[in-house]
Amino acid sequence: MLRNIMLVAGFTVAMTAPGFAAEWFVIRGADGCFVTDQKSAGEDAVSKGYASEAEATEEMKAIAACDEANTNLDPDEDRDTGQ
């Protein structure tokens, strides 16, 4: 009986273990986008969680909001100084 209980407990732990795996997120900050494995409540995730850092980095390159042209809204800001 104890063996059966331990067997069921072992299967339960084994089935929930993938849920504890690290997730990687693409976060949009003031300086552009970056990849991190910890998402804070105040940060704006621009994508779903990814299984690996490499996968998240590749997807970050494809996200339009992370494109460098979209993060600098005034690329000619040096001309706007009035000099």
DSSP one-letter string for 7-26: HHHHHHHHHHGGGGS--BEE
How far apart CA 48 and CA 19 sit, in angstroms, is: 15
Residue 23: C-alpha distances to residues 9, 11, 29, 81 (Å): 25, 23, 18, 43
At residue 63 the predicted structure's pLDDT band, cuts being 50, 70 and 90, is confident
| pTM given for the model | 0.54
Parallel, antiparallel, or unpaired: how do β-strands 25-29 and 32-36 relate?
antiparallel
Render pLDDT for 29-56 as a digit per residue (tens, 0 to 9). 777 788 888 877 777 788 888 888 899 8
